[in-house]
Structure 1
């Protein structure tokens, strides 16, 4: 039996490359990224803010079963216009194309910035840890336009599940580092998501029978302030790393 087909949007970025290497044993991989100069094997160039370009990519991948949606402006301080076009409209375009082409499930890369303001407000934003363990049941408290864009993406995912049955797991990802070394400031050590824990979390989000969920994505860091109990209980996430003992 052929491996199911998986499209990774933004596959050329840091997280995209980790997943591209780590999921090849389970899926027939396809990628889309605005930074590509031209089509390269199973990878396509497209601007996700352009619905026609997104649709054209999906048409080239018959029987596509899964999408990991990473693409968008990754800057935590992105301006509103960029968030509106690349992160909100772009996510809607991906979900609409997924719906129209019979995709079973999307794993959406949300962000800890959806609740970043629990760490304080300017001028003390992100200068202290949250005084409480933040769960997905806490109200959203975005710390900027980027966080608003990711919260909107979660809302789009919920709408497409309720209206169309398009399954989604939204992952509020912490800090994924290029060198995978969390020996930085205290906030990074709290929010670190190691490469192997990232890969495990995405694998289990793709293969779970849970049809819609939102989970935080961090390693089992001693000083973490984001709750991962739901992901551990519902999809069997068992993080192997802790920034304090790395």
Structure 2
């Protein structure tokens, strides 16, 4: 890639909520190759690369000429059962990392999740730092811990650069819920793009970082995300018209059924 050429980025899961937001915000900056299982909009119909991440050969065919991968594809619900996470989240993550290694791709940004550490949230053991032991709150969370560990292996064994982002709760409207815990971990679509851009560009070969907006009530430390990746969140749910924060010392209680509905 020449110095003035755009980086060619494979964006898996480009038709999902996070993928759609990233494509809209980063498409002018990077040469994005979107992947999905089916186009949901006319705008994607001609450019979407159709592939199933559980099929290695299909994933490998996506990698030629790619500089970096942003891997979002997979089951996204913390209420997913084992069968729902086994294929896309376990096998799929391995396929993406192995195909990237085989094709000589330099960097993979993995979409991890706050649910990899959701046990701390369920038991209200805050604050949470990225270097604390994983404590998944669901099989979905377990699959994200697996992805982080597999990324560590591919970095150590093969030199693949891997950045895992523990994505918070992304929504266009943080006031669509009155659950304090969700508002606290809100990640705006614009901040999501800022976090992914930082993960693509930072001179860091491996790391696991929280990606959350600048919410005053957040319980998850993003200091290392800011210092090491250069991430600068600019959004805050309390800045929305009509927003009002009820300050609770130590943080408001978590929902008793966490992570259901998150």
Normalising by structure 2, we get a TM-score of: 0.85
Deviation of 1:215 (Å): 0.4
Matching residue within 68, 82, 85 for 2:84: 82
Pair 1:26-2:29 in alignment:
yes
Out of 142, 148, 161, the residue aligned to residue 136 of structure 2 is 142
Distance 2:23 2:198 in 1: 15
Give the direction of change, closer, same or farther, for the CA distance of 1:245–1:183 in structure 2 (3 Å limit).
farther
Distance 2:127 2:236 in 1: 17
Q: TM-score by structure 1 length?
A: 0.90
Once residues 49 and 43 of structure 1 are traced to their aligned partners in structure 2, the CA distance between those partners, rounded to angstroms, is: 17
How many residues align? The count is 234
Which residue in the other structure is 1:125 paired with? none
Residues 7 and 29, structure 1, Cα contact 8 Å, conserved in 2: yes
SS across alignment from 1:57: coil
Structure 1: which 5+ residue stretches go unaligned?
122-129
Matched, 1:180 2:183: no
Deviation at 1:63, TM superposition (A): 2.1
| 1:82, distance to aligned residue in structure 2 (A) | 1.8
Q: How does 1:6-155 map to 2 (within 5 A)?
A: 6-36=9-39, 40-58=45-63, 62-120=64-122, 130-155=124-149
Which 4+ runs in 1 deviate beyond 4 A? none
Runs of 5+ unmatched residues, structure 2: 241-262
Q: Distance in 1 between matches of 2:206 and 2:151?
A: 8
3-state DSSP class of the match of 2:32? strand
**CA distance in structure 1 between the partners assigned to 2:62 and 2:202 by the alignment:** 26
CA RMSD of aligned residues (A): 1.7
Distance 2:39 2:57 in 1: 17
Q: Distance in 2 between matches of 1:40 and 1:2?
A: 25
User: The residue matched to 1:49 in structure 2 has which SS?
Assistant: coil
Is this contact kept in 2: 1:115–1:140, CA < 8 A?
Answer: yes
Q: Secondary structure at the match of 1:223?
A: coil
Contact 2:122–2:137, Cα closer than 8 Å, also in 1? no
Partner of 2:70: helix, strand, or coil? strand
2:5 corresponds, among 2, 24, 41, to: 2
- Alpha-carbon deviation of 1:148? 0.3
**Among 131, 152, 159, which residue is 1:158 paired with?**
152
